[in-house]
Structure 1
Amino acid sequence: MISVGLGILLNPLNSSMISVAIARLQNVYQLDFTDVSWIIFSFYIASAISQPVMGKASDLFGRRKIFLTGLVVAFVASLLAPLSPNFGSLIVFRIVQSIGTSMMVAVGMAIVRIHITEKQASALSVLSIFLSGAAAIGPFIGGVLIHWWDWQAIFFVNIPFVAASFLLAWRIIPKDNPPTSDSRNMSFRKWFEWIDVSGILLFTVGLVALLVELLSVKSSGYVSLRNVLVGGIGLVALAAFVRHELKAAAPFIPLRTFAQYPAMTWVNVEFMLVNVLFYSLFFGLPSYLQVVRNVSEFYTGILMLSLGLCSLVVSPLAGRWIDKTGPRPALVVSAILMTFGSVWLVTLTPASPVISVCLALAAFGISNGLNNVGMQAALFESSPKEIIGVASGLFNTSRYLGTILSSLLIGIVMGDQFSSGGLRVLGIILTLVALSLVFMGRRRQESSESRIYFHFYPFFLLLCTYMSQDT
């Protein structure tokens, strides 16, 4: 468990430490936030793609092999990223790092399920502490490292974790069973079809092209022919992706599942919005503190610690509450807290005490602790047991899409430079999103599944039918 835990914490740790390094990277590479935000986009897009792919690959090549390979990949990326001669190289190593750490997350839970046969629930809860704890204290660790060294330290800090995990995993994790004859004889073409390489490429091209187009329009202030062409490529790629996924035997994202289980679809929409809210604050506030309020990385990390600690403390209490009452009350309270935190952002001025930021952070931290358990429970309620694996994969995809949208929102609102006015605009937008979640939570059980079916299913089914045609 320790060997697996040290490996899987690297993904959330590296996704959260970067939040306090954004302002420093802007100064080092002379970039505005719109450009430097690709350090966030690249990591989450790569994670969204790598985790399901590596989960499938582990069935062929073995979970231990994938885990150890992921550690090697993460080690190489963490060693080379600080030596990047330019921002483009840093993005490349960041993507490689995301792929390596995703390999461990994809198979870590499965390794524990297979090889720890007693008290599995306790074992999995310990691993969840590695995951949530790393994400919670990542900004604090990042702030301390940058204060005492520089931004390169947030990559070098991975190396002792990787080394310890590799040595333990090499000695302790049992070897994989020999591959079956079917997997040994599978050709590259069949393997590519099995992991849906075509769907992954279309999804990546479409998403990246749209992000480039939107951020470019925001940066330049006008729509050029190049923007139109890039946006058109993105839309065509995503349309082709939808058509391909509806016909694929093993789709990367099983879109038909959304049409078949509308209640589960609704939960995923809510979860995506929750992550838009949380990560807009998570990535936006540290840059605001450093750029607008001139707070050092060290003290920014300390302030951000209030978010992580509140989340960690509330999560186990939320589990007990939700066991008794179900997820709906906790999710409504969470949405109300996020509304309060968003409104508080609107009230902040350059003269407001910096410590008052902790109120918004605490509100979002408590709500995150409630959401960590509540959204998962809502997913289990809305998803049939026979598709729970697919549902969990879609759930994680919703998380990553919400995170990507949050970075896009910050880039569009803030533009070249953070400002108090930009933070107020961001707070107003987040308030509207949070209020919509309050409404969704209150209507969750009032709106029956048949009612949601009436609104969404006929349209989606017609779209699926049309896109599935050969002509």
Structure 2
Amino acid sequence: MTTALQRLSPHRQPSKDHFDRRLITPMVLGAILNPINSTMIAVALIPIGIALGAPPSQTAWLVSGLYLATAIGQPVVGRLVDLFGARRLFLAGAALIGIGGLLGALAPSIQVLVVARVLLGLGTCAGYPAAMTLIRGEADRTGRDSPAGVLTVLAVATQTVAVIGPTLGGFLIGVGGWRVTFTVNIPLALACLVLGALYLPRSASARQGVRAVARAVDPVGIALFVATLVALLLFLTHLRADLWWLPVLSVAAGAALAWWELRTPLPFLDLRLLGGNLPLLATYARSLLAAISSYAFLYGYTQWLEEGRGLSPQLTGLVLLPVFGAAIVVSTVTGRRREIRGKLVAGAVGQVVVAALLLVLDAGSALWLILALSLVAGLPQGLNNLANQNAVYHQADPARIGSSAGLMRTFFYLGAIVASATTGVVFRDGATTPGMHELAVVMLAAAALFLVLTLVDRSLARVARDADAPDPA
């Protein structure tokens, strides 16, 4: 009995040579909050529009607002995790999620609801960088590489939530209305606060005090980074000729960012270090390209199934289930294998095959072919995300693992926004078969470039060798 109680005690000292498994639950809970809020909103947009009298042009900002906040906030919060430690930012993010959930539950207008979504986006930025920092910290503490199974658990958990998110959202709306999709964040945030306070270790920077660490934050660099991304993402989100000044502003802010970061002693983005780490830059590029193909498929293929193929929304949802199911199975089966290059090559080839199959589909295509395509599409979904995540873990500077992980998510979300904007262009006259074929060409180009970038990257073989150590799991 005493031994069992000691295992459950938050004050028990973790084993000196094994990963502290008490960290897994708060890490997973923090990481899934973003996909929960990203997917549940899909089924809530129409009820929200009806309840608040908001047209689709306004309710669309409930999606864009969270994506913009997350794409910008991930590397910023990741850098703060590097400086202040995972515990403080994890708890601060959980508190912000609780506030955003409460504000959304009580929001009297669509404008207030958008603010709540932005707060949720910023709050969920802490989960992934904090998890990567904790995994790296455990490797340093134990002197052994953290188990590959932990990274796999994170990937599978987020993919699972992406599958059940719309279903969960529909259930919650049926039980208590659309506001419950915001209210659910409150107990989740409280759980993160309790588990984080109990189990997350205090960092050395926390003991040094906030003032000593705050001098390394680089507020000018962060402000210029935010200005660069906000202008770029707003332009990509709308793609209108009269917004020509946004990319100009983005280029100007980016140039100022580069000038400042190369001169300040403690930069937010260490461009010299980043520029010298070509393998990490290649991983960021692959993350962007993989997201373009996968999100173009999810956005475009889904719309075409309903308009071009004439399936009902319910049947479309069932047709997409093999995508997520296959992704979960592939991640689970291959997650403990340390080889990265082979996974990326297979994932890239899978995306090429998916794009090629889309080119042969038309309004009369058989349902079995559509289901087979969905199943094939799940394979790269499960391989690419996990492999890129593992690559960043091994390629990034350990002192900047939080910001490096956050920056990878920024490139990923940038790819998602590019895919969304491209879908809007090719479906300008509706989700027709010719439009879907145009989208497939864009996907094919992105997948082919992804494949070439993987094949020529010899550093991936070294990553596998460096990671080839006994798994302490």
Tell me which of 66, 84, 96 is aligned to 2:119. Answer: 96
| 1:89/1:290 CA distance change after superposition, 3 Å | farther
Residue 331 in 1 paired to residue 353 in 2?
Answer: no
Q: Is the 8 A contact 1:206 1:233 kept in 2?
A: yes
Residue 404 in 1 paired to residue 431 in 2?
Answer: no
> Hey, what does 1:210 align to over in structure 2?
232
Number of residues of Structure 1 aligned to a counterpart in Structure 2:
433
Name the SS of the counterpart of 2:363 in structure 1. coil
User: What is the distance in 1 between the residues matched to 2:134 and 2:460?
Assistant: 40
Tell me which of 111, 120, 130 is aligned to 2:157. Answer: 130
Tell me which of 174, 183, 201 is aligned to 2:209. Answer: 183
> Hey, what does 1:2 align to over in structure 2?
25
> Hey, what does 2:54 align to over in structure 1?
29
- The more displaced of 297-306 and 263-272 is 297-306
Tell me which of 323, 327, 334 is aligned to 1:318. Answer: 334
- The more displaced of 208-217 and 196-205 is 208-217
| Per-residue deviation, residues 26-56 of structure 1 (Å, max 9, x unmatched) | 8873335xx7654444323322333343344
Kindly state the Cα deviation for residue 342 of structure 1 after the two structures are TM-superposed. Answer: 1.7
| 1:387/1:184 CA distance change after superposition, 3 Å | closer
User: What is the distance in 2 between the residues matched to 1:105 and 1:438?
Assistant: 26
With the length of structure 2 as denominator, give the TM-score of the two structures.
Answer: 0.75
**Letter paired with 1:349:** D
| Per-residue deviation, residues 116-142 of structure 1 (Å, max 9, x unmatched) | 988952555544443343234434434
Q: Is the 8 A contact 1:140 1:302 kept in 2?
A: no
> Hey, what does 1:80 align to over in structure 2?
103
Kindly state the Cα deviation for residue 319 of structure 1 after the two structures are TM-superposed. Answer: 3.7
> Hey, what does 1:49 align to over in structure 2?
72
With the length of structure 1 as denominator, give the TM-score of the two structures.
Answer: 0.75
> Hey, what does 1:269 align to over in structure 2?
285
**Letter paired with 1:73:** L
> Hey, what does 2:467 align to over in structure 1?
none
| Per-residue deviation, residues 393-422 of structure 1 (Å, max 9, x unmatched) | 543333233223222322333348544443
> Hey, what does 1:469 align to over in structure 2?
none
| 1:101/1:264 CA distance change after superposition, 3 Å | closer
Q: Which runs of 5+ in 2 are unaligned?
A: 1-23, 463-473
| 1:24/1:374 CA distance change after superposition, 3 Å | same
User: What is the distance in 2 between the residues matched to 1:249 and 1:20?
Assistant: 47
How does 1:214-293 map onto structure 2 within 5 Å? 216-218=238-240, 223-224=241-242, 227-290=243-306
Q: Is the 8 A contact 1:215 1:411 kept in 2?
A: no
Tell me which of 411, 414, 422 is aligned to 2:427. Answer: 414
Kindly state the Cα deviation for residue 294 of structure 1 after the two structures are TM-superposed. Answer: 6.4
| Per-residue deviation, residues 204-241 of structure 1 (Å, max 9, x unmatched) | 323332344455554xxxx34xx333443232222222
How does 1:455-470 map onto structure 2 within 5 Å? none
Tell me which of 313, 319, 322 is aligned to 1:303. Answer: 319
User: What is the distance in 2 between the residues matched to 1:152 and 1:291?
Assistant: 30
Q: Which runs of 5+ in 1 are unaligned?
A: 450-471
Name the SS of the counterpart of 1:263 in structure 2. helix
| Per-residue deviation, residues 81-137 of structure 1 (Å, max 9, x unmatched) | 355455443332211001112233333454577689889525555444433432344
| 1:304/1:115 CA distance change after superposition, 3 Å | same
Kindly state the Cα deviation for residue 10 of structure 1 after the two structures are TM-superposed. Answer: 0.8
- The more displaced of 365-374 and 390-399 is 390-399
Kindly state the Cα deviation for residue 348 of structure 1 after the two structures are TM-superposed. Answer: 3.2
- The more displaced of 293-302 and 44-53 is 293-302
> Hey, what does 1:395 align to over in structure 2?
408
> Hey, what does 1:200 align to over in structure 2?
222
- The more displaced of 338-347 and 279-288 is 279-288
> Hey, what does 1:12 align to over in structure 2?
35
Q: Is the 8 A contact 2:98 2:186 kept in 1?
A: yes
| 1:354/1:441 CA distance change after superposition, 3 Å | same
Residue 173 in 1 paired to residue 189 in 2?
Answer: no
Q: Is the 8 A contact 2:155 2:331 kept in 1?
A: no
User: What is the distance in 1 between the residues matched to 2:203 and 2:415?
Assistant: 37
Name the SS of the counterpart of 1:347 in structure 2. coil
| Per-residue deviation, residues 39-78 of structure 1 (Å, max 9, x unmatched) | 4443233223333433444566664443333223212322
Name the SS of the counterpart of 2:56 in structure 1. coil
User: What is the distance in 1 between the residues matched to 2:110 and 2:194?
Assistant: 32
User: What is the distance in 2 between the residues matched to 1:296 and 1:144?
Assistant: 19
Residue 369 in 1 paired to residue 382 in 2?
Answer: yes
User: What is the distance in 2 between the residues matched to 1:156 and 1:291?
Assistant: 33
User: What is the distance in 1 between the residues matched to 2:398 and 2:136?
Assistant: 18
Identity %: 28
Kindly state the Cα deviation for residue 423 of structure 1 after the two structures are TM-superposed. Answer: 2.3
- The more displaced of 114-123 and 267-276 is 114-123
- The more displaced of 140-149 and 153-162 is 140-149
| Per-residue deviation, residues 412-438 of structure 1 (Å, max 9, x unmatched) | 333485444432221221122222223
User: What is the distance in 2 between the residues matched to 1:294 and 1:149?
Assistant: 31
**Letter paired with 2:409:** N
Residue 106 in 1 paired to residue 133 in 2?
Answer: no
Name the SS of the counterpart of 2:262 in structure 1. helix
**Letter paired with 1:183:** G
| 1:22/1:293 CA distance change after superposition, 3 Å | farther
User: What is the distance in 1 between the residues matched to 2:308 and 2:176?
Assistant: 22
After superposition, the CA RMSD in angstroms is 4.0
Kindly state the Cα deviation for residue 313 of structure 1 after the two structures are TM-superposed. Answer: 0.6
